[in-house]
């Protein structure tokens, strides 16, 4: 771990910001107050590399419900915890009164531990019609990377179905839209990353990776003004039920990607059951060839293993 520059943090009771030295690298808005049509939910933005480059977008005009990195589920039964219109078989996208809300309830943990920042809180999920359907415990861990040019976010969610009935979790693809299985931990990149490089294990690249399975995926983009490159990589925990997941990824007309555990098959979320998912997000300065991506992925997997050990202790 890079310990040369310490982490610090501050909290305004609605969002918290983690800094590496004098640089703010991550802001997590845990008590969102967005419009109902955007499905208010916690999100990470801005996210910055250790060189100070911003690698996230907030409310882009084409999809104002895209917010940095957020846990977002567009097809939670008949409800939408993604934001925007809902895709319906044979009807395309349509606005429905089904945009749910993830409400912050209480902070469980907040502070520095062993050079890393930890935060945990509880949330309750409510449909637009006012039904309480999920209780969630969510935790994040932010730490400097193994080298001075990266840092890692470990994101963990444990959702319990309190709706009183089973819920089918799917995607636009399970509803009939081909190769559009988004939903899960979703990253939206800055506008200048359009046309960037999607990269996966074994040196594979390109939008053909959308819908394929793999333990991790990455995006390399170039910034306006500085013309520097940055890399974002997400690794899936081996304990996740759909590991290795299918991935949703786009380079055009904008940059986005994320593990999509409900991409092509609906998953039954049984009443009273708890669904857990854990991911590591590596944010790194610079371009990344296949070798560097393998190294970043290995570091991300190590962080997930460490988190699993600590969680079971």
Query: Which CATH number is 155's domain given?
Result: 2.70.98
If phi > 0 it is left, if psi is from -120 to 50 it is alpha, else beta; for residue 192 that is alpha
Taking residues 257-274, report their average pLDDT.
98
Answer whether residue 2 is part of any domain. Answer: no
Taking residues 114-140, report their average pLDDT.
97
Residue 151, pLDDT score = 97
pTM: 0.97
The alpha-carbon radius of gyration of the chain (Å, integer) is 18
CA distance 169 to 185: 14
CA distance 194 to 221: 8
Taking residues 94-109, report their average pLDDT.
98
Mean pLDDT of the chain: 96
Tens of pLDDT, residues 22-49: 999 999 999 999 999 999 999 999 999 9
Token pair of 162 as six digits:
């309190």
Number of domains in the chain: 1
Answer whether residue 182 is part of any domain. Answer: yes
- pLDDT of residue 2 exceeding 70, the answer is no
Answer whether residue 1 is part of any domain. Answer: no
**Structural domain range at position 181:** 7-312
Query: Which one, of 157, 302, 306, 119, lies nearest residue 216 by Cα?
Result: 302
């Amino acid at each position: 771990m890079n310990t040369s520059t310490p982490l610090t943090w501050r909290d305004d009771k609605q969002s918290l910001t983690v800094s590496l030295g004098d640089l703010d690298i991550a802001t997590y808005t845990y008590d969102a107050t967005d419009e109902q049509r955007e499905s208010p939910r916690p999100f990470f933005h801005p996210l910055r590399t250790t060189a100070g480059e911003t690698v996230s977008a907030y409310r882009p005009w084409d999809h104002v419900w895209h917010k940095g990195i957020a846990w977002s589920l567009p097809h939670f039964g008949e409800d939408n915890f993604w934001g925007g219109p809902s895709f319906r078989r044979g009807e395309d996208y349509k606005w429905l009164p089904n945009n749910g809300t993830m409400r912050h309830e209480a902070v469980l943990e907040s502070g520095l531990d062993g050079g890393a920042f930890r935060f945990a809180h509880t949330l309750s999920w409510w449909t637009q019609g006012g039904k309480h359907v999920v209780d969630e415990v969510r935790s994040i861990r932010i730490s400097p990377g193994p080298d001075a040019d990266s840092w890692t976010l470990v994101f963990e969610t444990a959702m319990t179905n309190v709706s009183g009935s089973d819920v089918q979790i799917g995607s636009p693809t399970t509803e009939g839209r081909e190769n559009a299985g988004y939903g899960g931990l979703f990253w939206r990149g800055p506008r200048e990353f359009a046309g960037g490089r999607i990269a996966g294990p074994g040196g594979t690249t390109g939008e053909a990776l959308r819908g394929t399975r793999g333990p991790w995926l990455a995006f390399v983009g170039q910034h306006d003004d500085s013309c520097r490159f940055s890399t974002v990589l997400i690794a899936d925990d081996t304990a996740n039920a759909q590991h290795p997941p299918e991935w949703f990824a786009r380079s055009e007309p904008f940059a986005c990607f994320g593990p999509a555990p409900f991409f092509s098959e609906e998953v039954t979320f049984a009443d009273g059951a708890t669904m857990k998912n854990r991911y590591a997000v590596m944010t790194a300065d610079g371009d990344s060839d296949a070798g560097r991506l393998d190294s970043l992925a290995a570091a991300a997997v190590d962080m997930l293993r460490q988190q699993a050990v600590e969680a079971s202790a």
